């Protein structure tokens, strides 16, 4: 339920930002406002669809919370911190090295860290790499 509420709030914020962008470009010349509208209108439509789906899902999934039940706040904090860390790393890489260098560097490090995390999870669950996967990684 909390995930649906967060998704609904996020979609509302995106819709408000997009409506402000459309309003800001309202008095611009036709050629100037073409690009902002080409970006904001499809994004607005997709955000509205996502908002409707989230509202319908939240209405359908009424969950009763018993006393003493708490979500795993630590894992949520770890995931959120990781996401913001990657966003900050991406922003700093693009700002300091430029777009053509920062984006490939970000993708490279992200893939290295994700591969290490997934291989750690696989070893913790005692799964073995198959020879096909090892040959694929080499």
Domain ranges of the chain: 1-71, 72-138
CA distance 69 to 87: 32
Of the candidates 19, 12, 15, the residue with the CA atom closest to the CA atom of residue 37: 19
**What's the pTM?**
0.45
Going by C-beta distance under 8 Å and a sequence separation of 6 or more, which residues neighbour residue 17? none
Q: Of 44-48, 55-59, 96-100, which range is least confident?
A: 55-59
One-letter-per-residue 3-state SS of the chain: CHHHHHHHHHHHHHHHHHHHHHHHCCCCCHHHHHHHHHHHHHHHHHHHHHHHHHHHHHHHCCCCCCCCCCCCHHHHHHHHHHHHHHHHHHHHHHHHHCHHHHHHHHHHHHHHHHHHHHHHHHHHCCCCCCHHHHHHHC
Residue 55: band (very low, low, confident or very high) from pLDDT cuts 50, 70, 90: confident
**pLDDT tier at 123 (50, 70, 90 boundaries)?**
low
Looking at residue 20, its pLDDT comes to: 92
**Segment 61-109, tens digit of pLDDT:** 655 444 554 555 556 667 778 888 888 999 999 999 999 999 999 999 9
Instruction: Write out pLDDT tens, residues 6-29.
Output: 788 888 999 999 999 999 988 899
């Amino acid at each position: 339920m909390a995930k649906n509420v967060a998704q609904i709030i996020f979609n509302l914020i995106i819709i408000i930002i997009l409506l402000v962008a459309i309003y800001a470009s309202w008095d611009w010349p036709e050629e100037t406002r073409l690009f902002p509208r080409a970006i904001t209108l499809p994004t607005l439509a997709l955000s509205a669809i996502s908002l409707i789906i989230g509202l319908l899902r939240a209405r359908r999934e009424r969950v009763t919370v018993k006393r003493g039940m708490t979500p795993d706040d630590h894992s949520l904090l770890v995931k959120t911190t990781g996401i913001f860390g990657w966003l900050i790393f991406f922003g700093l890489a693009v700002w300091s090295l430029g777009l053509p260098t920062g984006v490939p560097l970000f993708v490279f490090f992200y893939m290295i860290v994700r591969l290490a995390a997934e291989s750690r999870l696989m070893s913790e669950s005692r799964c073995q790499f198959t020879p096909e996967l090892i040959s694929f990684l080499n």
